[in-house]
Amino acid sequence: MENDDLSEQQLQHQTEMLTRRLPIARAALEKIAKGQWAPEILKIARDALNTLETLNALDALKVFYRKMSAQEYEHSVAERKTAIASTALETIANAETDPGVRKLARETLEEFSVLSDGEKFKGFFLGVQQDEPIPEVDATELKRFHENMSERCREAGPGVAIGLVALAPSTSGADTGPLCVRNWLLGIMSMQGLLADWQQGTELDGSVYRVAATIPVNNEQFDPEAFVTRLRAERSA
């Protein structure tokens, strides 16, 4: 995908991910460059580090990218640096050399593919903005999330923000996003008074969670009438 096709938020998200990986790559290259490896391996690592240092020092890059916005510039530089470091590590990982240095290079490259919970969460909501469907969740997990959120909100009082880690401490970033959206459905349905027949006090019937966990949702758009129809079908089953 070209930069022109990326929204400002997507560009920022990609830049943040690239920026987080650069120190990981640099640390591995520095460790390799200072090790007792074959001369060609040392040269690959040192050349890559030298190139990265050169890029850091070249304000002239801003002239090269003068037609870009500041955000596009930061993304392009981070992308270029990551490519330099990744290429060096891939070359080392595939070289006929000491197994130890190959292992270090491969483990570093594998770490690149691991998204942090924050990256997963932000990536999910960027996908929502692009009309990607909201994944289904486990009804039991949704019930736990909803009850935990309700309890934390009561404890915190009105107007107090609650962190997602507090709401779902054992849930990954990839799962927290869908839980948030589907819990939001419950709030909308409750505020519209559509769950009264499936509610005892503050306790929701299990069918409510089952429907909320699986009903199709796209870009936070859903049909409340379809929700109620599904609930009635569960009752009749």
- Decide which of 191 and 166 is more confident: 191
Using a pLDDT cut of 90, give the percent of the chain over it: 38
Mean pLDDT of 186-208: 90
Mean pLDDT of 178-183: 89
Q: Measure the CA–CA gap between 181 and 210, rounded to whole angstroms.
A: 14
Among 118-122, 187-191, 211-215, where is mean pLDDT lowest? 118-122
Among 126-130, 173-177, 211-215, 221-225, where is mean pLDDT lowest? 173-177
Q: Does position 19 have pLDDT exceeding 90, yes or no?
A: no
Q: Measure the CA–CA gap between 7 and 40, rounded to whole angstroms.
A: 42
Q: Which amino acid is at 225?
A: E
For residues 79-93, one letter each, b for 16 or more C-beta atoms within 10 angstroms of the residue's C-beta and e for the rest, the string is eebbebbbebbeebb
Label residue 76 by pLDDT band (50, 70, 90). Answer: confident
User: Whole-structure pTM over 0.85, yes or no?
Assistant: no
Tens-place pLDDT, residues 35-47: 989 999 999 999 9
- When the pLDDT of each residue in the chain is averaged and rounded to a whole number, the result is 82
**Angle (CA) 177 189 122, round 5°:** 15
Q: What pLDDT sits at residue 29?
A: 95
Q: What pLDDT sits at residue 11?
A: 81
Q: Does position 67 have pLDDT exceeding 70, yes or no?
A: no
Mean pLDDT of 5-27: 83
Mean pLDDT of 100-123: 85
Q: Does position 208 have pLDDT exceeding 50, yes or no?
A: yes
Q: Does position 162 have pLDDT exceeding 60, yes or no?
A: no
**Angle (CA) 62 67 72, round 5°:** 70
Q: Does position 103 have pLDDT exceeding 70, yes or no?
A: yes
